[in-house]
Structure 1
Amino acid sequence: MLTASALVSGAEVAFFSLSESDLLLCRQSPKRSLQLIPVLLENPRRLLTTLLVLNTSINLSIVIISLHLFWEVTVLPAISTGMLLGFVMLFTLAIVFFGEVLPKAYANQKKLTTAQRMVGAINTAEKLLYPLISMLLYFTQTIENRYRNRPTTQIIEELQQAIEEASTSETTHEEKELLKGIINFGSLTVKQIMRSRMDIVAFDITQKLDEILSLINQYEYSRIPVYNGSIDQIEGILYVKDLLPHLDAEPDFVWQTLIRPPYFVPEIKKVDDLLKDFQERHVHMAIVVDEYGGTSGLLTFEDVIEEVVGDIKDEFDEEDEIVYSQIDENTYIFEGKTSLADFCRIIGSSTDVFEPVRGKNESIGGLMIELFSKIPLAGEDTEFDKFKFVIESADNKHVKLVKVYVGESKENISSVA
């Protein structure tokens, strides 16, 4: 039986290690045994299940028969637990070494020969075990479909809940937020975290050197997009470090020669893929374009990293800058331009919660317009899921401030303001 276990283990490696050239040789061969190999591999899941069922059955039989024989032939009046465990471990090592390691090492060197020798027995076993194999495949497929079709929101919320439950008194808030950021990272698109075109600081390619130097001192950015005519026509990116050797140049210095090529990405690109692109291309800024090729927004390497580690403050960031204010445990006030990704990260929710109602909007202000089906007026309120929104400030163009109450119950938000 140990030999049978070795043959089945070797067959598993042999079948699934065959190259395309090996399979082509089998198809062209006049031998029935070789022709049958690619036929079995047409359904690899069924083949693998058959091999696993055979191998498991043989190994269990070896252990059961061995224990029975040991019990029958032993002359001792009683068998200690230690002796029994030692016997089981001895046979387990024998099965692993002689039934798994050695045959798989041999089959890996003689793939086609091993597969040819075992193909008849495997084909017969597959037919005999067809009902059992079909049942196992059905249950496996059902389980896979159940987990594959789960909404992303549910999966993310379950993982976040697991973080909360696994946290101890020694776990800091920053550590939990870091783990949650990692979980959300793979589901974000660049549109969800980009800086919108309204907030982009860019230079006109026709501006003079003294004009752009003044703007660089004003905004203190190290990389600035350069456009020709309109923000939708980005010509490149100006790196301030490239301009440093020319600070004393004449006013008519052609600084446009220092512009580097821009890197454009679509709105639907995943943030984790963008991070890989940043690393491979050695760039730190991407221009986000919409489906028509117009400029939709801008994203930097720092923006991407902040989605995991939180806000990064440098020497030029305003320490007292307030993105939002928290009135109490459940009540917040956000600017309308705040992205939904930042909003959800602050309140500890998933952006997918708003997927049914957000449309193509990526800001709280845009979400309000979608929920109200108009540009709401100050004082108007609406509810969605466990959130209640009250418009604090708005004009005839956009929503400026929104008060948000987060809670399972839909209480009047004015009572907690």
Structure 2
Amino acid sequence: MKNTIINKFKSLLGKKRNLKSQNKLETLLSERLKKERPIKINEEKIISNVFELPEKLVEDIMIPRTDMISVDANYNINKLIKLIDRTSHSRYPVFEKSRDNIIGMIHIKDVISCWENKRISNIKKLVRKVLFAPHTMNVLDLLLKMRTSHVHMAIIVDEHGGVDGLVTIEDLVEEIVGEIKDEHEVQKESKNFNEELKSDDGSIIISSRMLIKEFEEKYGNIFSDKEDLSDIDTMGGLAFHIFGRVPLKGEVIKHSSGCEFEILEVDSRRIRKILIRNHTFK
């Protein structure tokens, strides 16, 4: 049933996307939902995300190679357990000799079962199949491929066969429903949410989730009254607005006020921590 719905969306939107047809279809769908029951903002966002899928490529959402946590096939089980404890992912790509030679993936469930029963010490026997997809592949096509193959990790490769990054089924689902946090991420963010660190040089490290209003109440205004920031609530959103994209770790940009933003932590789709300097603090 779900595959049928996805295929219908693909046929409606097609390769040659007609903006008028899309707008009409979105309006009709929205009106239909509103007649049956009031539609919520988050539901409208999901509908909008679905309509954007035919234009998205896997390279737009992949975790880049530089951020991939991959496992050497020669790891022993104890070394792998330590890595899992430190990084808390459920799947890890496995390579042999070179990080461009991915031979499969390891799932945490297999590792735990093996470790508890002390069956093997070499992790090669735990390696599962992984998908390979070109960086130009459509997001919907990869989602369907994962559903039919029951393999939930894909290694994204360039035209020469080199590894560009990876995509998991969670990444694909998040493109439709928004960010999904597991218990580990929620606990980590809750712990770090209110953390602020002010240095002797006057710079300050903050969570990207800190509200702009809260920052200005504590440290003074950044913006002039002429700037329209009505759609931006958080400091991470502000940094994204100034950069015009998801920045890379270590990138620095200066606001017109003279205040500098340096990105300390970032993942493939969002900013995590920011260092702010040259601000006239209260």
Normalised TM-score (structure 2): 0.61
* Change over 3 Å in CA distance of 1:213–1:376 after alignment to 2: closer
Structure 1 partner of 2:146: 278
Gaps of 5+ in 2: 1-12, 191-206, 213-228, 265-269, 273-278
Q: Secondary structure at the match of 1:237?
A: strand
Structure 1 partner of 2:261: 392
Deviations 1:201-247 (A, max 9, x none): 11112222211011112222221111223422212101222223321
Structure 1 partner of 2:27: 162
CA distance in 2, matches of 1:188, 1:278: 16
Cα deviation, residue 317, structure 1? 2.5
CA distance in 2, matches of 1:380, 1:300: 35
Deviations 1:371-392 (A, max 9, x none): xxxx9853167xxxxxxxx972
Q: Secondary structure at the match of 1:207?
A: coil
Does the alignment pair 1:330 with 2:212?
no
Q: Point out the structure with the larger helix share.
A: 1
CA distance in 2, matches of 1:291, 1:336: 36
C-alpha root-mean-square deviation of aligned residues, in Å? Answer: 4.2
Structure 1 partner of 2:157: 289
* Change over 3 Å in CA distance of 1:149–1:270 after alignment to 2: closer
CA distance in 2, matches of 1:183, 1:197: 28
Cα deviation, residue 279, structure 1? 1.2
Does the alignment pair 1:218 with 2:97?
no
Deviations 1:275-295 (A, max 9, x none): 110111111110111122111
CA distance in 2, matches of 1:301, 1:232: 21
Structure 2 partner of 1:299: 167
Cα deviation, residue 189, structure 1? 0.8
* Change over 3 Å in CA distance of 1:244–1:273 after alignment to 2: same
Gaps of 5+ in 1: 1-146, 344-357, 367-374, 382-389, 403-413
Tell me: higher relative CO, structure 1 or 2? Use CA pairs within 8 A at least 6 residues apart: 2
CA distance in 1, matches of 2:54, 2:170: 16
1:378 counterpart letter in structure 2: I
CA distance in 2, matches of 1:271, 1:207: 32
* Change over 3 Å in CA distance of 1:155–1:215 after alignment to 2: farther
Equivalent of 1:379 in 230, 250, 254: 254
Q: Point out the structure with the larger strand share.
A: 2
- Checking the alignment, whether the CA contact within 8 Å between 1:285 and 1:301 is kept in structure 2 is yes
Structure 1 partner of 2:121: 253
CA distance in 1, matches of 2:143, 2:45: 20
Structure 1 partner of 2:75: 207
Sequence identity of aligned pairs in percent? Answer: 24
* Change over 3 Å in CA distance of 1:246–1:178 after alignment to 2: same
Cα deviation, residue 337, structure 1? 11
Cα deviation, residue 148, structure 1? 9.6
- Checking the alignment, whether the CA contact within 8 Å between 1:336 and 1:365 is kept in structure 2 is no
Q: Which has the larger radius of gyration?
A: 1
